[in-house]
Structure 1
Amino acid sequence: MKIALVVYQFIKEKGGVERYVYNLAEQLVSKKYEVHIFTHCLPEKEDNRYIFHYVPAISFWSPLKYWTFAFNAPRAVKKTGIRFDIVHGFTQTLYQDIYRVGGGCHWDYMLHTYPSMQTIFGRALLCLNPRHMSLLLLEKMIFKGKRYKQVTCISEMCKDELVSHYKIPPEDIAIIYNGVDTMLFSPDNSRKYRDSIRSMYDVAPDDILLVFVGSGFKRKGLIHVIHALAMADMPKNVKLLVVGRGYEEKFRAIAKEKGIYELVIFAGTSKEIHKIYAAGDIFVFPSEYDAFGTACLEAMASGLPVIVSKASGASEIIEDGKDGIVIEHPINAKEIADALQMLYDKEKRKQMGLAARNKSEKYSLEVNINKTLSVYRRLVCDSNF
């Protein structure tokens, strides 16, 4: 079977979408499918397991990048003359058999990312921004024009947004939660990396280390974690390790203002995030909006108890109080503090961390690929697939 994967950049380290496509491609070739990658940005070292096709795009200005890739990708697929069994799109393009929505509706993303969206004037200004205007129009063209045969979403939350905004028939949408590499993200990593990573960031062996992972600190709820830590009943040996990109100086200033500057460690980005989880005790993810939040699943696979908000799609896979704690309101620091208080107990952390690992195994890469292949089969109606 010939499968075309369409994504703007096929570089694993670039982000969540890219990592997802990379993992999917690996799983497909391991099952002996012929995989073609249609992309504008190729990896530095091409992998001969795949057949690469270059998609031209004007990349110096993001609106032009979006539009040129959206139009050129279907042309590049057609130009090959190959009859693909499945064309699977991961970036806004104007035709594909399956379109994967990996980040929710752009409108909802804007609502939860930009404070100015709370006013009519602010909304108007943002919608006139060429970047946002382009993404909103492309999204509308794909869904209103039904430039797909099947849509897949990464959460019920994401599906509800699509049905609400674009009136997509619910039966057109399949939910496939993100998968996690349960070999890479494993409780066994603690034995290998815990001491060295803690030493690197000056964290004592008996410190309770909270881990926060994500770029876009505001939307991911970092300020609420800082406020929760500043509450008086916190143990003295708690530290917070922040991994990702954001307005770091702003959040350093907030931590200083709250009197916990010495407890918050900003690590920047990391290419070996599995080692970071290995050093942690609790994962905190009170996101104000996240269509899923793969970092939460990675932490669970690593054996960490997680605190996640209902505004994240990842909360849908968590049984509150058993394999994680789901908070109702991410902006409520007291609610986060109460959840942390429960997990300051070592035995409780151990029990919940074990349950989290067990739950993560239901969302392995193998499970993800099997669900994806199930969608492929329904589309091609081929009993030999």
Structure 2
Amino acid sequence: MKLAFCLYRYFPYGGLQRDFWRIARASLARGHQVTCYVAAWEGEALPGLKVEQLPVQGSSNHGRMASFAAALGAALARQPADIVLGFNRLPGLDVYFASDSCFAAHLAEKPLLLRWLPRYRTYLRLEQQVAEHAYFLFLNEHQQHQYQQHYALSAKRFTVLPPGIEPVHRQPDNAHQLRATMRNTLSLSDGDKLLLFVGSGFRVKGLDRALDALASLPDQQLARTRLMIVGNDDPKPFLASLSPAVRQRIAAHVRSVGPRDDVPALMQAADLLLHPAYRESAGMVLLEATVAGLPVLTTDTCGYARYVLEAQSGEVIRSPFSQEVLNVTLAKMLDSLPGPWGEAGARYGREHDLYSLPERVVDLLEARFS
């Protein structure tokens, strides 16, 4: 089959982008022709994947997305595909990989006047166009229910996918040796506790909450705690928003390393994944940490937080979010590490299918649309 994949921006470190890469790789492995339409591509190309970068104009994010949607429509008219699979809300899709929560639900929480701003109207219109015709691939049941509250989606128009993390994230047989090697590389002593914050888009992932939680630790506990920030974003605005006294107090305990290709090894070196996100449809990093045997502290607004509860691989802060509850929970977990969470998560990763999302998507495309 000739497949058209539509993704506004590709870069190697986003959860959505990694899902796209694995689905494209699985499609190519089965002999399908895959053309990916993007506005921007950063990083290496996937062998066999044809990438077409479309011209995009506009001074705002929503303006550029609308421009990309128009350019995509013209490109698909010139070069029709058997199936059009979109990873962003775009018109003309046959299948929508719903990586985001329902925008109509998000908009319903905004003041009435804000809903008429061009940004909100543009994204809502794009979502409405998707909901008219596309088949939905959901990452969890909560996301499915959210969309069904705002759109007429019958059971024939969606599938809830299993997770699709890479097996490389599972705790390796030489975990203890790898941990010792990595911690030596990172200049960590046996008594140090390493908190890992991983993700692109630090605002949504809750870096401000993570820094506040770190700053809340008592002096004795803070003295042996380090926070490593990993991801394709800039932490400086979040640090700058802290008071000078707080910033000075935690400065020696925070390290930002940018995007990294060795996250599985870092997870073996770390003691806790701190992921207090504001909202996230999935949160692949929660499962990656779970199967790696790394305890997790997250929020219930992440779709994959349910796996943390099911695996008993960490603690989940319930909504409505309370910074004080996060602070207290972090301090208690640090006192209890390694605790039961890591072993429970690694066992869960060995006993459950958390890896088949790409193959499931290609199965569905072949069964329903070939």
Provide the TM-score with structure 2 as the length reference. Answer: 0.82
> Do the aligned partners of residues 124 and 363 (structure 1) sit closer, same or farther apart at CA in structure 2, a change above 3 Å counting?
same
Q: Distance in 1 between matches of 2:279 and 2:310?
A: 19
Match of 1:348 in 2: 340
> Do the aligned partners of residues 347 and 18 (structure 1) sit closer, same or farther apart at CA in structure 2, a change above 3 Å counting?
closer
| Residues 187 and 303, structure 1, Cα contact 8 Å, conserved in 2 | no
Match of 2:308 in 1: 318
Match of 1:131 in 2: 119
Match of 2:273 in 1: 283
Deviations 1:52-79 (A, max 9, x none): 4444433654333212221332332232
Q: 2:150 aligns with which of 165, 171, 179?
A: 165
Match of 2:159 in 1: 174
Name the amino acid aligned to 1:310: D
Q: Please provide the CA RMSD for this pair.
A: 3.4
Q: Distance in 1 between matches of 2:219 and 2:42?
A: 49
> Do the aligned partners of residues 300 and 263 (structure 1) sit closer, same or farther apart at CA in structure 2, a change above 3 Å counting?
farther
Match of 2:361 in 1: 372
Q: 2:350 aligns with which of 325, 344, 358?
A: 358
TM-fit CA distance, 1:378? 4.2
TM-fit CA distance, 1:13? 1.7
Answering whether residue 260 of structure 2 is matched by residue 271 of structure 1, we say: yes
> Do the aligned partners of residues 109 and 81 (structure 1) sit closer, same or farther apart at CA in structure 2, a change above 3 Å counting?
closer
Question: What is the SS of the residue equivalent to 2:97?
Answer: strand
Same amino acid, percent of matched pairs: 20
Deviates more, 1:91-100 or 1:238-247: 238-247
Question: What is the SS of the residue equivalent to 1:204?
Answer: coil
Q: 2:197 aligns with which of 198, 212, 217?
A: 212
TM-fit CA distance, 1:300? 2.0
Q: Distance in 1 between matches of 2:178 and 2:151?
A: 46
| Residues 39 and 55, structure 1, Cα contact 8 Å, conserved in 2 | yes
> Do the aligned partners of residues 188 and 38 (structure 1) sit closer, same or farther apart at CA in structure 2, a change above 3 Å counting?
farther
Match of 2:66 in 1: 67
> Do the aligned partners of residues 217 and 110 (structure 1) sit closer, same or farther apart at CA in structure 2, a change above 3 Å counting?
farther
TM-fit CA distance, 1:296? 1.2
Question: What is the SS of the residue equivalent to 1:38?
Answer: strand
Q: 2:89 aligns with which of 70, 87, 92?
A: 92
TM-fit CA distance, 1:178? 4.0
Deviations 1:216-271 (A, max 9, x none): 44433344444444254974533322334355354463594398515641314223
Answering whether residue 271 of structure 2 is matched by residue 298 of structure 1, we say: no
Q: Distance in 2 between matches of 1:197 and 1:302?
A: 14
TM-fit CA distance, 1:104? 0.9
Deviations 1:118-138 (A, max 9, x none): xx3xx634741x434321221
Name the amino acid aligned to 1:131: R
TM-fit CA distance, 1:377? 3.9
Question: What is the SS of the residue equivalent to 1:319?
Answer: helix
Aligned length: 363
| Residues 312 and 345, structure 2, Cα contact 8 Å, conserved in 1 | no
Q: Distance in 2 between matches of 1:285 and 1:250?
A: 15
Deviations 1:296-353 (A, max 9, x none): 1222232212122211101122335723322313424335533652462335244234
Deviates more, 1:328-337 or 1:190-199: 190-199
Provide the TM-score with structure 1 as the length reference. Answer: 0.79
Deviations 1:167-188 (A, max 9, x none): 4335422212441112256446
Match of 2:299 in 1: 309
| Residues 224 and 286, structure 1, Cα contact 8 Å, conserved in 2 | yes
TM-fit CA distance, 1:87? 1.9
TM-fit CA distance, 1:152? 1.1
Answering whether residue 324 of structure 2 is matched by residue 333 of structure 1, we say: yes
Q: 1:142 aligns with which of 114, 120, 130?
A: 130
TM-fit CA distance, 1:282? 1.2
TM-fit CA distance, 1:31? 2.6
Deviations 1:126-158 (A, max 9, x none): 741x43432122112322xx132x111222222
Deviates more, 1:229-238 or 1:163-172: 229-238
Q: Distance in 2 between matches of 1:33 and 1:81?
A: 15
Q: Distance in 1 between matches of 2:104 and 2:229?
A: 28
Question: What is the SS of the residue equivalent to 1:180?
Answer: coil
